[in-house]
Chain A
Amino acid sequence: MSEAILDVKNLTVAYEGGGRSSRALNDISFRIERGKVLGIVGESGSGKSTAAMAVLGLLPGGAKPSGQVLFKGQDIYAKSPEERRALRGREISIVFQDPFTSLNPSIQVGRQIAEPLILHKGMEEKAALQEAENLLREVGITDPARTAKAYPHQLSGGMKQRALIATALACDPELMILDEPTTALDVTIEAQILDLLEALRVKRNLSMMFISHNLGVIARLADEVCVLYAGDVVEYGPKETVLGPGHRHPYTKGLLASLPKLTDRRDRLFPIPGRLPDLSQTIPGCIFEARCPFACKGCGQPQPLQAVGADHVSRCWRSLELADVPWRADDAEGGVAAHSTREHQPGGEMLLEARDVVKRFTVVSGLPALKFDASGGGFPLRYEPVSLRAVDRVTLSIRQGETVGLVGESGCGKSTFGRCLIRLIEPQGGEVLLRGEDILSASPGRHRALMQEAQIIFQNPDSSLNPRKTVREILARPIRLFGIAEGAEVDRKVDELLDMVRLSPRYASRYPHQMSGGEKQRVGIARALASKPKFIVCDEAVSALDVSVQASILNLLADLRDELNVAYLFISHDLSVISHIADRICVMYRGGIVELGPTERILQPPYHPYTEALLSAVPFIEKGARQRERIRLAGSVTGSTEQIVGCRFQDRCPRKLGGICETVTPPARSSAEGHEILCHIPLEELSGYESVLEPLERRA
């Protein structure tokens, strides 16, 4: 065994507060060897961030750690606080999840990077600032001098995260902790950052503790993987084993089964039922027992970690016995298990047609739009209001029972477009026909009637339900409003709706705060269904949920679609989720569609260079899936304030042809019925690109 940089032994952390004690970490042990990367994976509440803080010696006031954290053989908790501080930033450094709040807003970026150099290495300020620029160059910033003098608000999210990585690298630390470093970023930026970390790791022989909820991200970088559940290590071993077919613990099985995958488009996912146990209570037996489909008599005993292979441990006594049994769990959550038996058949009558929808937002107006400019001669004051073209002449049609996925990076206008379709946002131009009738020009009365048929499901379960109303009140309102039922009938309808979203009728009397995220999302879905709509916009409807919950909501949405023959516009930044549920995919960039077609066609060449880049940015865990060629986009999306001339994507396109892309609007090239690519590159050439994914198996 080679030298361990970090050796955590029996670390337990409990938070005390309000007379209660709640365990965040329960007797966990792991080690990181020099030059290796340990991936720590877990859903919210698993204690993974507490582990990072414990290693740094920065646990908040109410936290009580016990056990040992050996850094290069010495227990950091045996050291004085001053010695621990001297360790931080010099030998152990960290990159946090949210680059938007981790930089001090009132200090220049260069100075923030230089700070540890001055503190720990005693460098002169000038030399330290110079070194900061070198570090910025090393983390791939093209104009380090200018960036160093910038304030954080002037940088994009990706650049901020690079600056934070530069800060963490400054003193050439022995151990770098990365706490969800890409979670707040777009998938293309995430790919850039992961590439950077991979390169740095090799170049500097860095040891890393990499924390993430995203199995794909962990799979990219980790050598070993430690799976945390409710503060316990449930499985720990080499990456290939734990994230591959060799995984043994039921929770790991569940996590992998809940994940929608680009290469394996099964009809159903297999989520983990139930929710995290209450960590202020002592759980006598297996911590996962309550949610485990394999639970049986022996699970009431405390589960020790047991060896299940070379360097591979699992906290389940049935690990070996269940080795080849796949995860199959019902997705009923506190209610009735039901499963649609109807086959999904998209493509009925035309339901909704959007033509040339345009939405501009005024960004700068009034006095701030007055620009002082004496250079140009003439009167030095000019009025220059700025408006952002969020949606720029988008045309899309959706058939009955069809699911159209809308994908793109943040800021591409996908949510705005979705809201325009149901007139939650009033577009400036175009028309939206619902069964041939224009929603946008409808009279107020007619508009209300049309709203019955077109509904929306939101992203954030905490925000989508009125906290002052019970579930019954929330669901009864649309039932009464649209005259679907009256009197006592309303209550029966509410129960019916709850049943539809697999919640038991006792949920009717609950307030939103008495439910979990997944349950709230189900109520949100029920509310959208209450008016019996034929079209629903799902705006990032599963993005805020943990993987296991996300899977059950995706299953529910698919079932409802088949039962009720509703059409979805499914908006998401996550291509895996989109490709799992969508019949057709629409790829948006800077307010416009760049590619539109059946899901299978979108995932294979010929595709738009932007689609190609999105696909190759997705981090995969599946065995067999490989990204043959990594296409990386530089920079990030910028909103367009002017009329776009030429191709929308030309500013970042890795396959840009030249002048023609800047001046001529690209033609729609069609490879097959219903598949369009807006690109100047001829179809034959686009078809010739190597596929990012392995050829897909057809949907079962």
Chain B
Amino acid sequence: MALPSMASAPRRRPLPASLVWGAGIFAFVLFIAVAGPFLAPFDYDQMNILKRMQAPSAVHWFGTDEFGRDVFSRVLYGARLSIAMGIGATMISLAIGVPLGLIAGYYRGWPEEAIMRGVDVLISIPPIMLGLLILAVTTPSVWKSALAVGVIYVPIMVRLTRSVCLEVMGEEFVEAAKARGERGWYILFSEILPNAWPPIIVETALRVTFAIMLGAALSFLGLGVQPPASDWGLMIAEARPFIHQAPWIAVAPGIALVITVIAINLLGDGLREILDPRMKRDRL
């Protein structure tokens, strides 16, 4: 069958609930990530030894940590680095992966061989290992862990883009363009890409969630964000010694992380529903 779903794409239907909710919550989280410092009731590293490890209250919504800092404010601040790492890493994998995938899919022959074999090697590295490898040899920092996570997902983007590209290239309208003697770039950008982006966008949403979680895991291991700056992963790591006395210090950023990931997953599902209902979820 020839792209039946895409044929029905522009039809006007009510937006799926998952899209509305996902986009709404994610927009809220994004807003917090940008405006966090202005919204926060306290400064994120304002210590107060007298107020150590206070339980959540009307003043300190999420309680205070071991230095008496306001956990709620820190969660708001942490959003920025967590989200930035997730989106940044995904953008890196998009920026490298999509062009490579298009080249491999469209030009075939030796470029495809070279790209796909490289991808095979990269994909045979367990996801966290590349991050560990890069961060092991240099001083950790946010942009490095974003880069590491981004590079990990390049092979997945290349494979997806290539397979979508090959699928669209099998369509007769691409043959028609070739029969007109159209140049490669025209076919690639005007005929193939407009039909290839829906699954890529859906995959991108999924990648952002994985990148956020992986980035947080690296920070948690001390290989990402360095104190005094903080993201949700590092906050949980720092709270670990006190989880029995003051569980809220660890739980609050964790829940923020989970809600963000669920929101992006919802957004991805909604996008898939309106863009490309055929695509399977759960592709890694």
Contacts and interface: CB of A to CB of B under 8 A. Distances in A.
User: Which of under 10, 10 to 19, 20 to 34, or 35 or more describes the interface residues of B?
Assistant: 20 to 34
A649 B114 CA distance: 42
A458 interface: yes
A447 B171 contact: no
A459 B170 CA distance: 13
Contacts of A451: 179-181
B180 A424 contact: no
A397 to B, nearest CB: 21
Nearest to A478: B180
A455 B3 contact: no
Given A451-B181, A462-B1, A467 B7 contact: yes
A463 B181 contact: no
B12 interface: no
B175 to A, nearest CB: 6
A146 to B, nearest CB: 34
Interface in A471-485: 477-478, 481-482
B180 A467 contact: no
A448 interface: yes
A513 interface: yes
Contacts of B125: none
A482 B171 CA distance: 23
Given A463-B3, A468-B195, A447 B175 contact: no
Contacts of A460: 2, 172
B179 A462 contact: no
A216 B171 CA distance: 32
B9 interface: yes
Contacts of A422: 179
A102 interface: no
A477 B174 CA distance: 13
B182 interface: yes
A99 interface: no
B6 A467 contact: yes
B176 interface: yes
B283 interface: no
Contacts of B176: 456, 458, 464, 524, 527-528
A531 interface: yes
Contacts of A467: 3, 6-7, 9, 195
A467 B195 CA distance: 8
A136 interface: no
Given A468-B194, A511-B10, A481 B2 contact: no
Nearest to A458: B172
A456 to B, nearest CB: 5
A478 B10 CA distance: 24
A466 B195 contact: yes
Interface in B1-52: 1-4, 6-11
A211 interface: no
B228 to A, nearest CB: 49
B18 to A, nearest CB: 17
B204 to A, nearest CB: 19
Interface in B84-132: none
Nearest to B178: A424
A465 interface: yes
A512 interface: yes
B179 A455 contact: yes
Contacts of A455: 179-180
A466 B2 contact: no
27 contacts: A422-B179, A424-B179, A451-B179, A451-B180, A456-B175, A456-B176, A463-B3, A463-B171, A463-B172, A464-B171, A465-B173, A466-B171, A466-B173, A466-B194, A466-B195, A467-B3, A468-B6, A468-B195, A477-B180, A478-B180, A511-B7, A511-B10, A512-B7, A513-B10, A524-B176, A528-B176, A531-B180
Q: Shortest 7 CB-CB distances between A and B: which pairs? A: A463-B2, A513-B7, A448-B181, A464-B172, A458-B172, A451-B181, A462-B2
